[in-house]
Amino acid sequence: MFALGALLLLTGGGCASSASKQTAAPVEEPTRVTPENNETAQAGSRVRVHYKGTLDDGTEFDSSRGRDPLEFVVGSGQVITGFDEAVTGLKPGEKRTVHIPPEKAYGEYDKTKVFDVPRSEIPQEAVDQFIVGGKTMVPSRNGNPAMVATIVKISDGAVSFDANSDLAGKALNFEVELVEIAL
C-alpha cells in the first residue's frame, strides 16, 4: 500500500532556536588553489565553479552567474556524472564547454515514475494546496527516501504524479569555469 500520510509539501518553514549564546571556535579557511599552483580538479577535490546550462535548442535552464559559484566535491555524487567529468582535470580559471547525453545527466524519461495515488490516501489539507504543474515530496513506493514529483492531474478519485526530473531524457550543454579548488 502506498501511504501518503507523511506527505511533505514544498512550502518551506522555519524553526527558531532558543539556545543560549555560545562563542564559536574560529573557523579555519581552507587553502585555496590558484592558477599558479598548477593543481587540477580530481575526484575528492572540493571545487567552486560557475556554469551555464542549456538545452540543445539553446534554452538556458540554469546558471550560477549573478550568484555564488556552485561548490561540491568532485566524484561524490553531488552533481550529475557528466558535470563531474567536465570539471575533472580543469585548473582554476580554466573553462570548458561540454555536451552531456541523458545517461550521464538525469537519465531517460521513465514511464514507471508516473503514478496515481487514490485521494483517500492523501490528507485533504495536502490536496487543497496542490496545483497542477507544482512540485511536492512523495514517499517512494520501494522504501527509498522521499522524492520530488510534479503534480500532473487532480481528479475526484486520484492524484497523478510524475517523479521524473524535468530534464529527464534531455541532452544538456554546459559552459563550466573552475573558480577555485579548496584543499
Q: Provide the edge-to-edge strand list for the sheet that holds 147-154.
A: 114-118, 158-162, 147-154, 135-138
- Which pLDDT band holds residue 177 (cuts at 50, 70, 90)? very high
Structural domain containing residue 141: 111-162
Does residue 91 share a domain with residue 177? Answer: yes
Whole-number Cα distances in Å, 161 to 119, 140, 155: 12, 12, 12
- Which pLDDT band holds residue 143 (cuts at 50, 70, 90)? confident
* Whether pLDDT at 21 is above 50: no
Q: Provide the pLDDT for residue 32.
A: 58
Does residue 172 share a domain with residue 86? Answer: yes
Does residue 82 share a domain with residue 153? Answer: no
Does residue 95 share a domain with residue 122? Answer: no
CATH number at residue 145: 2.40.10
CATH number at residue 61: 3.10.50.40
Residue 27 in any domain: the answer is: no
Residue 19 in any domain: the answer is: no
Q: Provide the pLDDT for residue 148.
A: 95
Residue 119 phi, psi dihedral angles, 5° rounding: -60, -30
C-alpha dihedral sign at 173, 177, 180, 183: positive
Does residue 63 share a domain with residue 49? Answer: yes
Does residue 85 share a domain with residue 63? Answer: yes
d(CA 77, CA 147): 17
* Helix or strand run (H / E) with residue 162: strand 158-162
Residue 133, helix vs strand vs coil: coil
pLDDT mean over 152-172: 97
pLDDT mean over 85-99: 98
Does residue 93 share a domain with residue 119? Answer: no
Residue 40, helix vs strand vs coil: coil
pLDDT mean over 147-161: 97
Residue 88 in any domain: the answer is: yes
Residue 86 in any domain: the answer is: yes
Q: How many structural domains is the chain composed of? A: 2
Written as nine digits, the cell of 55 is: 538545452
Does residue 36 share a domain with residue 96? Answer: yes
Q: Provide the pLDDT for residue 145.
A: 85
Residue 124 in any domain: the answer is: yes
Residue 13 in any domain: the answer is: no
Written as nine digits, the cell of 44 is: 575528492
Residue 119 CB partners (closer than 8 Å, separation 6+): 127, 155, 156, 157, 158, 159
Q: Provide the pLDDT for residue 3.
A: 39
Residue 125 in any domain: the answer is: yes
Does residue 101 share a domain with residue 37? Answer: yes
* Whether pLDDT at 86 is above 50: yes
* Whether pLDDT at 92 is above 90: yes
Residue 128 in any domain: the answer is: yes
Does residue 123 share a domain with residue 98? Answer: no
Does residue 140 share a domain with residue 67? Answer: no
Residue 51 CB partners (closer than 8 Å, separation 6+): 62, 63, 64, 70, 83, 174, 175, 176, 177
